[in-house]
A and B are shown apart, each in its own frame.
Chain A
């Protein structure tokens, strides 16, 4: 019993810290979201309005669109990152000369600050003279330069590409670590039994890599769901609002329009969605481990 109490005593500082930096701000945001609080209209005061902000949110087409954009962006970019990351990891797992240098080089995009990377990609795709248009026109893929950021469908292309370029190294490195933890003798046994490489990948590598894949998936999905800087720099959410993710819309409500109540409601919804996603993944992870 004293041991238990002592244990509690030891965790107390950590719990206190978490309460201070995570639970308190969260509670505050929740409380704020139940108020009408518009910093630029002090004459309206800060009355308690219950769920009014949430009701407005449900009827707000821009919120609905932003949610949809975010989910689509997360689904597409994370799938691509996972597939490419796995391919890169498998490649890097082999023994070859200069492997150390290649591994370090692969990590480069991940090390570049997102805003800088976003600017680089924007310059490549922007304008008629951008490098991408120059390449596409000179190879005859298109006749006229594409104005990427002016149409909804084409504006997503550079955004997703930039995200994939930036995050794939992270996924690859994580998966590589997982790959190296797999016992080599399993492959030898499989080879002795006459299993092809493809069969080995499907029945040895992937099942054993599942926990690592899930970790990568959790990190990337949550990151993708909160995407902000990349899109803020590249399209600003345009054309119109057709590439606006939920984080950008929240920023707009909170910091451009200074609608703290409504912005808080948006933040709470974003939190709930990411939290639910995290819970689902953790369950999934736990299930994998117990077996």
Chain B
């Protein structure tokens, strides 16, 4: 008993001496995806960083890979003003939320090289004129199309409303009631020249362009161009359908490319290509739109080592690290210059020329602190309209009304207009 107590005291004593490290170097923790190859490449980069900056002890803090779970965990930590983790991997729609809450350090003081990133991705990381995060890697919505069933990459939304000969369905997408549905809708919306809301927080989802976009999606389902099942589908169900050769086109994220190329499992290997989602022919302001996804890096406002955290952030965003991520996990860089770098072409499975067009048309979702709730309201109404419970125009009117009420109730619109909270 006495011996056990003594050893316990020793452990406590040791732990008290600088949290396990023998030296008093500042410890910078970063939290993010640490699964499989993604975790391995990050560990490798952190090791390289430690060699390069012997004065900083950089460590990885594992957080759940599921976005909702990670979000919940971050909110709990940051609410409690925890200084750890110092560096946060954020989903693209979280930045304004965390920035408005005062949980992130503005990065402008560090002189970030903003001209070297895609402007749309920086816009998504700004809140009230300050920059709170930098884009780490980018995910964009892509239109996969069968080169043996279609003569060329679809140049207009019209092509997406017909089933070509030889295919069971024209197109498949993600239509279950979740964030994925909003990312699909955003692309049709952009194709018709619409937006969810503008910079002043005015909700625009009940405009005629939006109604036409939703009617187009609904017609796809109603006419059987897309199976009714898409309304229960996430990314993987859509991929299975396309992979089995049942659909001529599919809207999905870049991850599907490598899986579809695998001829042992895929029936369409070598018979498909990707393109940006096309614009609607003749729609005023209509433009090819790819929903912007991906991850950002930001610094915890309560960090004890802001300088060191910035050093690590800048290191992880350097071109070399981005190229390595592209090669190992297939994630697209956020620096336009890298798309001219021949090394990217060798690193990526997916042809760079096809990627570049989609990344160039990447469009962020509304930058607002209440995005998740806003999207939740929109998801319900979109799903009601697509499943035939309500007319598209009425659904979007209801969504706009609810979103307006939310922006008023929370005071977010005032904040977006520049008023103090």
Interface residues of A (CB under 8 A from B): 38-44, 62, 126-128, 147, 149-152, 236-242, 252, 255-258
Contact = CB atoms under 8 A, between A and B. Distances in A.
Given A40-B369, A256-B372, 12 more contacts: A41-B100, A44-B410, A128-B229, A147-B228, A147-B231, A149-B232, A150-B232, A238-B232, A238-B383, A240-B380, A256-B68, A257-B376
B177 A236 contact: yes
A237 B372 CA distance: 17
Interface string B87-103: 00000000001001110
A239 B383 CA distance: 6
B264 interface: no
Nearest to A238: B177
B72 A255 contact: yes
Interface stretch (B109-117, B212-220, B309-317, B384-392): B384-392
B101 A239 contact: no
B222 to A, nearest CB: 12
Contacts of B384: 239-242
Interface in B39-76: 68, 72, 75
Given A43-B421, A240-B384, A256-B68, A126 B373 contact: no
Contacts of B101: 40-43
A149 B175 CA distance: 12
B229 A39 contact: no
Given A128-B229, A257-B373, A258-B75, A42 B102 contact: yes
Given A41-B101, A239-B389, A128 B227 contact: yes
B178 to A, nearest CB: 8
Given A239-B177, A257-B373, A38 B410 contact: yes
A150 B387 contact: yes
7 contacts: A40-B370, A41-B100, A147-B229, A149-B232, A150-B228, A239-B231, A241-B380
Interface string B385-407: 00111100000000000000000
A123 to B, nearest CB: 12
Interface of B: 68, 72, 75, 79, 97, 100-102, 176-178, 227-229, 231-232, 369-370, 372-373, 376, 380-381, 383-384, 387-390, 410-411, 421
Contacts of B227: 128, 147
A121 B124 CA distance: 41
B231 A237 contact: no
Contact of B176 (A127, A152, A236): A236
Nearest to B411: A44
A240 B369 contact: no
Contact of B389 (A41, A62, A152): A152
A282 B217 CA distance: 52
A126 B232 contact: yes
Contact of A240 (B79, B97, B387): B387
Contacts of A41: 100-101, 369-370, 410
Contacts of A38: 410
Given A150-B229, A255-B72, A258-B75, A240 B389 contact: yes
B79 to A, nearest CB: 6
Given A44-B411, A127-B229, A239-B387, A256 B376 contact: yes
Nearest to B81: A42
Contacts of A242: 384, 389
Nearest to A147: B228
B100 A43 contact: yes
Contacts of A42: 79, 101-102
Contacts of B370: 40-41
Nearest to B389: A240
Contacts of A128: 227, 229
Contacts of B383: 238-240
Contact of A151 (B72, B177, B388): B388
Contacts of B229: 126-128, 147, 150
A277 B101 CA distance: 41
A124 to B, nearest CB: 14
A239 B233 CA distance: 12
B231 A150 contact: yes
A242 B386 CA distance: 13
Top 3 closest pairs, chain A to chain B, by CB: A240-B384, A239-B387, A43-B421
Contacts of B410: 38, 41, 44
Residue from B68, B97, B227 whose CB has the most chain A CB atoms within 10 Å: B227
B98 to A, nearest CB: 9
Given A151-B387, A236-B176, A239-B387, A40 B97 contact: yes
Contacts of B100: 41, 43
A99 B409 CA distance: 62
B46 to A, nearest CB: 30
A42 B68 CA distance: 19
A21 B372 CA distance: 33
A150 B226 CA distance: 13
A236 B383 CA distance: 12
A39 B100 CA distance: 12
A39 B71 CA distance: 12
A239 B221 CA distance: 14
Contacts of A239: 177, 231, 383-384, 387, 389
Contact of A39 (B79, B178, B376, B380): B79
Nearest to A235: B232
B376 A252 contact: yes
